Amino acid sequence: MSISIKSAREIELMKRAGEILARTHEELGKALHPGMSTWEVDHLGEEIIRSYGCIPSFKNYNGYPASICVSVNDEVVHGIPSKKRILKEGDIVSLDAGVIYKGYHSDAARTYGIGVISPEAEKLIEVTRQCFFEGIKYAKIGNHLNDISSHIQAYAEQFGYGVVRDLVGHGIGEHLHEDPEVPNFRKRMRGPKLSAGMTLAVEPMINAGRKEVCWMDDDWTVVTQDGSLSAHYENTILICEDGPEILSLLPETGTAQA
Ligand code: CO
């Protein structure tokens, strides 16, 4: 597969998908509270996505059994929602969601604290979010993909954090996962040149401790090997003539600001 350049029509559909996904995250984030099960998070998320006329893209993707990946504390990504997993004060929870609108995908993730969380957890969440914004400063025509990747890594490592190597971001559009892979770490090769009309899911996954991760017996849930906390932040972006446009953030809430 090669990197697809989206037409004006495709970009319109992806903007709509992104807007719906941003609203979904906003509504889900507000609903989180101690005592809520991760199953309830998924159930509500699926309901919101469908209420906008979208399809949750993760459901049944490679056999994934839910619509929202809900990953708590040392879980990095792909946590499977469960009625037995109850969120409690002080937890951090990463919500990853994808929607399909008229055949086009958007993919985004946020990490939230439940009630009051430790200063260390707050900092990890904020730095992970900032990693995304530091990376996409380099999402400019003529730059190479590795310019984004290496700046995400450099920003995270300043804080002594571990940058996950076993999972990467990706191109997105008609499919959830398209070329190219979008690593959050420097590669020896500078990667493809960025050009207008490319759409990418940029998704730093950052551990408070070491970078190594492992898979749980459910074959989905990825956890930090050292048991440290992990955060995830992701948006779908479009490479434009004048820089990146973030498709999965709501401009009017002011959250688009770096
Ligand atoms: Co993704």
Distance between Cα 204 and ligand 1 center (Å): 10
Cα separation, 77 vs 169, whole angstroms: 12
The protein residues having their C-beta less than 5 angstroms from ligand 1 (an ion) are: 107, 201
pLDDT in tens, the chain (258 residues): 699 999 999 999 999 999 999 999 999 999 999 999 999 999 999 999 999 999 999 999 999 999 999 999 999 999 999 999 999 999 999 999 999 999 999 999 999 999 999 999 999 999 999 999 999 999 999 999 999 999 999 999 999 999 999 999 999 999 999 999 999 999 999 999 999 999 999 999 999 999 999 999 999 999 999 999 999 999 999 999 999 999 999 976 545 545
Q: What angle do CA 251, 71, 187 make, to 5 degrees?
A: 75
In the chain, where are the structural domains located? 8-249
Give me ligand 1 centre to Cα 97, in Å: 8
CA-CA-CA-CA dihedral for 69, 75, 80, 85, to nearest 10: -120
Beta bridge partners of 202: 235
**What distance in Å separates the CA atoms of residue 66 and residue 37, rounded to the nearest whole number?**
14
Q: What distance in angstroms lies between residue 81's CA and the mean position of ligand 1's atoms? A: 18
Q: Which amino acid is at 11?
A: I
Residue whose pair of structure tokens reads 């040392």 in the numeric block: 74
8-249 fold: Creatine Amidinohydrolase (3.90.230)
Read off the pLDDT of residues 210-250 as tens digits, 9 standing for 90 and up.
Answer: 999 999 999 999 999 999 999 999 999 999 999 999 999 99
Ligand 1 center from residue 96 Cα (angstroms): 8
The length of the chain is: 258
User: What is the CA(64)–ligand 1 centre distance, in A?
Assistant: 14
Residues 165-182: tens digit of each pLDDT: 999 999 999 999 999 999
